[in-house]
Structure 1
Amino acid sequence: MAPTAVGAASGERGLKSLVWQKLKLSVFDDCRKEEEWKLIILDDFTTKLLSSCGKMTDLLAEGITAVENVYKNREPVPHMKAIYFITPTKKSVDGLINDFVSKASSKYKAAYVYFTDFCPDILFNKMKSSCSRAIRRCKEINISFFPYESQVFTLDVPDAFFCCYSPTVEKANGKDAIMEAMAEQIVTLCATLEENPGVRYKSKPLDNASKLAELVENKLENYYKIDEKSQIKGKTHSQLLIIDRGFDPVSTVLHELTFQAMAYDLLPIENDTYKYKTDGPSGKEREAILEEEDELWVKIRHKHIADVLEEIPKLLKEVSSKRKATEGKLSLSNLAQLMKKMPHFRKQITKQVVHLNIAEDCMSKFKSSIEKLCKTEQDLALGTDAEGQKVKDAMRVLLPVLLNKNHDSYDKIRAILLYIFSTNGTTQENLDKLIQNVQIESDSDMIKNWKYLGVPVVVSSASQQRRQSRKDRSSEETFQLSRWTPVIKDVMEDAIENKLDSKEWPYCSQCPASWNGSGAVSARQKSKTSYLDDRKSGSKLIVFVIGGITYSEIRSAYEVSQAYKSCEVIIGSTHILTPRRLLNDVKMLNKPKDTVCIKNEEKL
């Protein structure tokens, strides 16, 4: 657990660096004494949080000798002081109290307690009455989100999807509880960024975004009112957009051919860990973590697979030609032999080999079945073919996919959904025929349950709506099988250029003058450069999607930040989506769920 941005080689890592620096200042520096070693006690949430921005070596540099779990039995170390970095939940607080039941049986010499966010009075008083004699510090540091990448955060509450969109949760209070928890987490993100953004939300198709936006605005106001140290008294030059997942269903099911999105869709990557073999099928299995410390990964993750397959072999040839150690055709087996012969530059070549493995794995899946799918998907999503001709009969485009035995049921369901999205719904009769012909009765809720996200699925033929108009990107260079642009990219660009319609994107709060455009009017009044210049350098656009974001939407945040130097885009959600995982979640929406994991369910 180390800061991913520490050291000259690793460079800036945005959110991860910010979170580590805040932890260092608020926790480690706060209780530091020269030549005094301490233990750190974590719960599951803070273990993951610390792991997301740091490594064990840097904890050692902060005087931490060991990391322990507050829930588990531990050997007493009565001569040492312990830092408790925990969430303000009943389970974690009880773990702390149990360590200091009596002076004679105390596990540690003293406790320095740091909560991720606000600790309810009932828990604070319980702790105070039970073990106050042992506590030297007790603070709330306001970090209750995970920095996933330099410009990406998650709240790590995937069950929020069920809570917010399942019709069965409305009757209970589960939805209100998850909304409160999410709002608190988003406020800790804003506090970490030292921003008090103007809050806006997408008014349709559901009201989740407006409810969450209102909660966030109220909690932001309260936070900056209470925080005496903060220099922020009014709104900063930043904007927060809150959106329901149903605003762009297409980007969630389309096959993406940029490297990161494609790999996470097609390969069994779990917890950002890719498993591979270097010496063929019989070789030893290895693991590689896909993270921003890997500069090559950062360089190629948003590139099209065709560009990646061209770039990595070039890098490998450069390395091998310097060593003059390979002959003939470049292959993974040759590279494995090269690494055995010349171990002194193994590290230099390992990362290229990892990414070449990923690229080749992706391409083997692509060539076997995905390539033909992609053309159909793009035509359905855009309503035009690669030549720009309008698709006149979407069903005719869809049928070859449904009749192809090489496509599995998930791919066929994704294609059916794109057909339904392209026509803004279909008739009940048509939907029943599709489900029966493809024999997906058991998975039909993967299609039908999209209605709970506010997406039209079954409509009468008379009420079918026209396709939503999109930005014309025909002049932008792209690959024929990657013509679709996520809707969120349009939103980000329009927000930065003050072109968002205030009726479609209402305000929950007063935005700074430089953000308060209400559409074409403000664009006419000022030139693009002048209203961008009005903003302080380093202004931020924060986008939060309720119910998950895709890797293509993550890529859009980086692309827009690159294009508009005056504004950094930070994107976040409850969790990160892959198409298969989303379809499984959609299928469950109309099922009863006995237990729903809410991050602070134990605060009571």
Structure 2
Amino acid sequence: MVLTSCVRDYVNRMLQDISGMKVLILDSQTVSIVSVVYSQSDLLQKEVFLVELIDSISKSKELMSHLKAVYFLRPTSENIQLLRRQLANPRFGEYHLFFSNILKDTQIHILADSDEQEAVQQVQEFYADFVAIDPYHFTLHVPSNYIYMLPAVVDPSTVQRFCDRVVDGLAALFLAFKRRPVIRYQRTSDIAKRIAQEASKLMYQQESGLFDFRRTEVAPLLLVIDRRDDPVTPLLNQWTYQAMVHELVGIEDNKVDLKSIGKFPKDQEEVVLSSDQDSFFKTNMYENFGDIGMNIKRLVDEFQQVAKSNQNIQTVEDMAKFVDNYPEYRKMHGNVSKHVTLVTEMSKIVEQRKLMIVSETEQELACNGGQGAAFEALTNLLNNESILDVDRLRLVMLYALRYEKDSPVQLMQLFNKLASRSAKYKPGLVQFLLKQAGVDKRTGDLFGNRDLMNIARNMARGLKGIENVYTQHQPLLFQTMENIVKGRLRDVDYPFVGNHFQQGRPQEVIIFIVGGTTYEESRSVALQNTSNTGVRFILGGSSVLNSKRFFTDLEEAQRVARISTSVV
């Protein structure tokens, strides 16, 4: 169950059996699905000379009968209507239609009726309706991600679209892997329960024939949980490479846009960070920031050795050898430049925002007790002129989540201090977070202080010492995976849907977080998968979060909640 290989195989199958010059036509979501597993040079090797969005193609009238059109689209009603109009006046020599999910019978009839000139050569379902950003981590890029916080407030049709997109993505995943899972969900989350029930209905009733695969000894497990059970992880600064890039700069479909943080040469304004396409990144994506600097120094040294040897071109044979190796030389040069640039820029941001001081307090709040010391450290940071508003807000949120029941007076003092120091961020957002994800709303033992086993585990970690004060935090997901491996995931907290119970420990587990995943959590999954427990995990979510995106979702949910309250 490797996500990137699965999607790449689908794209290969789409393109390799169609000979000649091709145009690949995508929609706004399948362009993400393809781009994370297939590079521009990969497409050229498959004779794809043009990549277009279906909306753009609709506006053009130019005939291109020398090209074969390969469409890869989500089977939405909008896409079907666009296709219907394009088939009525075909511009390409052939049409090969591939859909990322299950086509309805009515949609097939619409396409058949539209193809009066018999330009369509094939129609197939290729179940790649998810963005495979890493081998064991996917996202669905669900629009309006904040909706998961307000299922009872938002317009029911909007909530239904949100749930439909998640169920579609999960269905495609299991169809791609030819599995039908047992499904569990977080008891305290209405939206997780709804998605779990609708996914079960689709797989066991509406499309039971499609999901009737050969049974494995123990069925795979799909666990649907809610981001609000662990609001701490998306609030923390990160100090491992991939997670840190996303937190400080941002990653979208494995691409990093550097234009937002400075001026760079044209070829460095956007860089690709893909574990499939970049061996240095694959080796270092989960390493600590301190180690990354030393590893990049070694990369630079290696490149300089290669560059020096290439300067010693004295014969025709030397020249021929250099030309043969030139693509690799250029690739290595680009790789070195990219990683040096990223680490240099992130070092500047860390220094400017005093993130080492901020992060040390964040980690103390997330991982250790000591309310008095935490209050004092936090008060000092709120008074520090060098600390940005957004970092002040992050710290107060972490304190509030940790001590909401223990220190209401001190919490109010911090709210007032935040309001006076940070005009942009009012304390109402912290209170809204507590309403959404406070201790009364959470299922898991977020701070490891309720369950005796977790208290003992935290004490043991403290006695052993922490290798790096900035990376001592473990997301709640780590504990959830551990409970699954040891058969300790409680039925009362994570009920099964319907009568489909699980006998024995699952060997394949997909955990879906409604509200979004983080790269810290995907790192936990990757490390868990290397630990030889006999259980393989895949992580997915409705989006990929950093603190900025988490704040955006929170602010949007707060705005919508206020509007609905005023209407009532």
Q: Same fold (TM over 0.5)?
A: yes
Query: Aligned pair 1:164/2:152, yes or no?
Result: no
Post-superposition shift, 1:271?
Answer: 5.3
Query: Aligned pair 1:89/2:48, yes or no?
Result: no
Post-superposition shift, 1:63?
Answer: 5.1
1:320 to 304, 309, 312: 304
Query: Aligned pair 1:556/2:524, yes or no?
Result: yes
Post-superposition shift, 1:590?
Answer: 2.6
Mark the CA change 1:275 to 1:242 in structure 2 (over 3 Å): closer, same or farther.
closer
2:280 to 296, 300, 319: 296
Deviation track 1:48-72 (CA, whole Å, cap 9, x = no partner) reads: 2222221344444445443333222
Distance 2:74 2:116 in 1: 18
In structure 2, the partner of 1:112 is 96
Post-superposition shift, 1:498?
Answer: 1.4
Q: Which amino acid aligns with 1:218?
A: K
Mark the CA change 1:36 to 1:187 in structure 2 (over 3 Å): closer, same or farther.
same
Q: How does 1:143-158 map to 2 (within 5 A)?
A: 143-158=128-143
Post-superposition shift, 1:224?
Answer: 6.3
Q: Which amino acid aligns with 2:193?
A: S
Distance 1:112 1:274 in 2: 32
Q: How does 1:194-209 map to 2 (within 5 A)?
A: 194-204=178-188, 206-209=189-192
In structure 2, the partner of 1:221 is 204
2:471 to 468, 472, 482: 482
Note if contact 1:167-1:452 (Cα within 8 Å) is conserved in structure 2: no
Note if contact 2:404-2:411 (Cα within 8 Å) is conserved in structure 1: no
Distance 2:466 2:290 in 1: 14
Q: Which amino acid aligns with 1:97?
A: R
Distance 1:79 1:253 in 2: 52
How many equivalent residue pairs?
521
2:438 to 423, 446, 455: 455
Higher helix residue share: 2
Post-superposition shift, 1:126?
Answer: 3.3
Distance 1:67 1:285 in 2: 20
2:514 to 534, 538, 546: 546
In structure 1, the partner of 2:23 is 39
In structure 2, the partner of 1:446 is 429
Post-superposition shift, 1:543?
Answer: 1.1
Note if contact 1:196-1:232 (Cα within 8 Å) is conserved in structure 2: no
* Secondary structure class of the residue paired with 1:221: helix
In structure 1, the partner of 2:504 is 514
Distance 1:156 1:405 in 2: 37
Distance 1:513 1:172 in 2: 36
2:230 to 228, 232, 248: 248
Note if contact 2:231-2:437 (Cα within 8 Å) is conserved in structure 1: no
In structure 1, the partner of 2:403 is 423
Q: How does 1:564-575 map to 2 (within 5 A)?
A: 564=532, 566-575=534-543
Note if contact 1:423-1:466 (Cα within 8 Å) is conserved in structure 2: no
Distance 1:197 1:176 in 2: 22
Distance 1:452 1:53 in 2: 39
Query: TM-score, normalising length from structure 2?
Result: 0.82
In structure 2, the partner of 1:264 is 246
Unaligned runs of 5+ in 2: 310-325, 442-446, 562-568
Post-superposition shift, 1:41?
Answer: 2.7
Q: Which amino acid aligns with 2:526?
A: Y
In structure 1, the partner of 2:393 is 413
Note if contact 2:133-2:253 (Cα within 8 Å) is conserved in structure 1: no
In structure 2, the partner of 1:504 is 493
Note if contact 2:140-2:543 (Cα within 8 Å) is conserved in structure 1: yes
1:19 to 7, 16, 26: 7
Note if contact 1:144-1:185 (Cα within 8 Å) is conserved in structure 2: yes
* Secondary structure class of the residue paired with 2:488: coil
In structure 1, the partner of 2:33 is 49
Post-superposition shift, 1:36?
Answer: 4.8
Mark the CA change 1:324 to 1:190 in structure 2 (over 3 Å): closer, same or farther.
same
Distance 1:139 1:16 in 2: 20
Mark the CA change 1:153 to 1:456 in structure 2 (over 3 Å): closer, same or farther.
same
Distance 2:242 2:176 in 1: 27
2:553 to 579, 585, 596: 585
Note if contact 1:561-1:568 (Cα within 8 Å) is conserved in structure 2: yes
Deviation track 1:7-28 (CA, whole Å, cap 9, x = no partner) reads: xxxxxx9311111213433x34
RMSD value over aligned CA atoms?
3.3
Note if contact 1:224-1:232 (Cα within 8 Å) is conserved in structure 2: no
| Aligned residues with identical type, % of pairs | 21
Distance 1:320 1:63 in 2: 35
Deviation track 1:560-602 (CA, whole Å, cap 9, x = no partner) reads: 1111352222111011001012112201113249xxxxxxxxx
Post-superposition shift, 1:181?
Answer: 2.3
Note if contact 1:435-1:441 (Cα within 8 Å) is conserved in structure 2: no
Distance 1:52 1:24 in 2: 14
Distance 2:345 2:381 in 1: 23
Post-superposition shift, 1:416?
Answer: 0.3
* Secondary structure class of the residue paired with 1:241: strand
Distance 2:339 2:294 in 1: 12
Q: Which amino acid aligns with 1:484?
A: H
Q: Which amino acid aligns with 1:499?
A: R
